[in-house]
A and B are shown apart, each in its own frame.
Chain A
Amino acid sequence: MHELSFHETTFEKCLKCNACTVSCPISNTTLDFGGPKHLGPELKRMMDHQEVIDDSRIELCTLCGTCDTSCPENVHVSTLTSYAKAIHAKEKGTKFRDIVLSNAELVGKLASTFAPITNMTMKIKPVRKVMQMVLGIHADRQFPSYEFSNFKRRYNKKHATTERKVAYFTGCYATYNAPDVAGSFIKVMEYNGIDVAIPEQKCCGVPMFANGQMKQGLKNAQFNTNSLLEYTRQGYDIVMTCTSCTSAFKKEYASYLKTEEAKELARHIYDADEYLRILNEEGELNTNFATINAKVGYYAPCHMKGQGIGNPAMDILELIPGFEIQDMAAGCCGQCGTFGFKEEKYPYSLELGKTMATAVEELDADYTVTECGMCKNQLDQLTNKQVKHPMQILKSAYEKVPVNS
């Protein structure tokens, strides 16, 4: 585990070329942010072997990882900014609100237990005004709804018996907010003759890293690594339906934990669409889809784009007859996980989301498809199109096939 003054050498390759700042969604929206170059490699260069510097401008970094993708020298900029966040949280303390927001899992557990009440309460204006005053969560920010019948109550198989075995890391969003996504994934796997097990798991840690809660985040990372390795070592593939969780396991765990175990696990992590694409390439995918006549817009989450996997959601959805899907090439959604809930970040969040909202309006498709629950939250608030997860579409494409065909 890193200390706050951890040693990291990739930043030495930084040529200060500005590619990260030029590409950074926040830097392109506001001059209030110091930018990834300055708060990443430059700050690190200044601190190395010297005193730790707390720079409050780091609060505006959303850890979207676009800086990492843009760097021609392979500097892990977001690793540096995540530690700048941890330093800031340690020096300045963490707001009660940020502790709450970073504990997406705990919030999910509580909120789904009292789901009908939570969902209703979150829509009452005076309550939200009080929440803004007391907690600093913006009153106008729509919340995703919670479901009492969360995924844990619906499905809890611990072992798979088929030849191809999948262990599903559900993640907080599909567990508490969108159990239908999780359920659809299980169904899609079923149509492909693959048994799915649900390993013991905790929140992937992304909201914690984003709020400077590095210690707690790394604790979760360690827990998940131990738990999931037990599965991969028995021949399971780890599949996820949330691209931020996937990105954490593929990228962050390995570069934060810096252990052989984290690297070993990372090799077995697949995004759900990426996994289906592999099945297709190996001739194992059930391609008996019913026709779905729809014109659909695809919105690519930042954490998907950073994985270097092309566009697996579109690759798979294009296999459905009649299905017309177009990438909107729309930049960052601006919700950025917990960022868009915060009172003082809300105006930035809306500004960031403008290009996305315009792209959705211009395309004027039947509905929007995205893998990310948080992008969906912003899409729900800023556009009037319905938003679906690829797994929900695939499930209905399988289900609509006439029984005797």
Chain B
Amino acid sequence: MYDVIVVGQGLTGLLSAIVAKKQNKKVALVAKGTGKMLQSTGLMDLVPGSNKDFSQWMELYGLSNREKITVKDAINEFKRLTEKIGYQYVGDVDKLANIVTSSGHLKSTALYPKTITPIPEKGRVVIVGFTEIVDFQPEFLKGNLQKERPNLQIKTMSVSLGKDSQRTLTQLDAARVLDEKESREQILKQIKEKMKAESTEGVDLFIFPAALGVQQWEEVHTQFSSELKAKVTEAPGLPPNATAIRLHERLRKEAIKLGVRFYADTEVNGFSEKGTINEITIKMSNRSAKLQSYHLLICTGGILGGGLEQTAKGLKETTLHLSVNKEGSYVDLPDHVYPVGASLGTNVIHYGITGGVYSIVSSYLTNFQMEQSDMRGLQRA
């Protein structure tokens, strides 16, 4: 018997599980696959694909001014957590930052890891690609960035990771290569030599793919900026981005260490309510098992996460098979079942995702709702 069962291990699922576990609750997490964080950039946006600011965001989600404090608390809690797990997020919802992506376009984001530096209006920039990483093309990035920031002086270069590989290398592979000290040194050497050859001086910012280390990101970042005597940023692009993998690996580890029980590679295929207790049936590889809890959190990521499915007859909810309206919101939500983040329906998503900040806030708010429900239960008893 669990206090809380969380379905899904994306950002929403992991955060919800961690928050609940910190309240000394018995928590289980049921998941099929690794969650969609691996496909993300690891940046926490307010409204993805737009420059909408905090007050417009509050309005969009129907949050009153009174709730502003709670929202800020949620964000501070997220920052504290990321600092604790060794991957600190910075940024401010009141002041969005302009971040460059690997396509060279700028996007507004609220929270970002310390490996990322916002793009200045003017100054000298060098974009460094790795010859082995085909998903990141410095010239392509330069072309688009120049349009967005005409006052930037942009140069590009490509250096080699110096590794033979038996597979097509991704940003994540490069990041793991950069975890090694010797590799970092030979890469820095190449960059310095190229700068010397082209007499590049007075650089303000170096742009790299989202590949500056996984475990050792802090060392990589510090070493690169001190040796290159400039600010350094990562430009996230096609997955897997190290910016996202670092967060995913660390959140998962934190949840396991706290004692969240992971029922990996399982699927929910039954649900019933017994008074205040929810019972779900999970399908394992060999048979089904029943899990019970007081609270059930649906963190299945909406359409992109697989929690909602687009069918000819409209949206279908795939976890509990309950009816949803045409926006994918639950019509008759059973007591003690809480959709979190993108599971609340298409109203909370833009281009398929919440963008991040809403998921953080939603996980935090759900925890309050659970507490209130527990209090009511106690009062009745």
A residues at B contact (CB < 8 Å) = 17-19, 21-23, 27-28, 31-35, 38, 57, 68-74, 249-251, 254, 266-267, 269, 305-311, 314-315, 326-329
Contact = CB atoms under 8 A, between A and B. Distances in A.
Contacts of A33: 166-167
Instruction: Please classify how large the interface on chain B is, using the bins under 10, 10 to 19, 20 to 34, 35 or more.
Output: 35 or more
Nearest to B33: A72
B261 interface: yes
Interface of B: 28, 32-36, 38-39, 163-170, 172-173, 176-177, 239-240, 245, 252-253, 256-257, 259, 261-266, 282, 284-287, 289, 306
B167 A34 contact: yes
A19 B248 CA distance: 12
Given A31-B173, A71-B33, A57 B265 contact: no
Given A22-B38, A72-B306, A310-B28, A32 B166 contact: yes
Given A72-B32, A329-B253, A17 B285 contact: no
A60 to B, nearest CB: 9
Given A31-B169, A69-B265, A306-B265, A267 B286 contact: yes
B209 to A, nearest CB: 15
24 contacts: A17-B39, A18-B239, A19-B33, A22-B34, A22-B245, A23-B34, A27-B167, A31-B166, A31-B169, A31-B177, A34-B167, A72-B32, A249-B286, A267-B287, A307-B284, A308-B264, A308-B266, A308-B282, A308-B284, A309-B289, A310-B261, A310-B263, A311-B261, A329-B253
Contacts of B286: 249-251, 254, 266-267, 269
Contact of B256 (A34, A74, A327): A327
B253 A31 contact: no
A401 B257 CA distance: 30
Q: What is the interface of chain B mostly: helix, strand, loop, or mixed? A: loop
Contact of A307 (B38, B168, B257, B285): B285
Contact of B257 (A21, A305, A327): A327
Nearest to B176: A28
B285 A254 contact: yes
Contacts of A19: 33-34, 38
A280 to B, nearest CB: 11
Given A17-B38, A19-B34, A70-B34, 14 more contacts: A21-B167, A31-B165, A31-B166, A32-B165, A74-B33, A266-B285, A266-B286, A305-B262, A307-B285, A308-B284, A309-B289, A311-B262, A327-B256, A329-B256
Q: Top 6 A-B pairs ranked by shortest CB distance?
A: A72-B33, A329-B256, A310-B261, A266-B286, A250-B286, A308-B266
A91 B253 CA distance: 41
Contacts of B285: 250-251, 254, 266, 306-308
A309 B263 contact: yes
Nearest to B240: A22
A288 B191 CA distance: 66
B254 to A, nearest CB: 8
B264 A315 contact: no
A138 to B, nearest CB: 22
A312 to B, nearest CB: 9
Nearest to A56: B166
Contacts of B252: 329
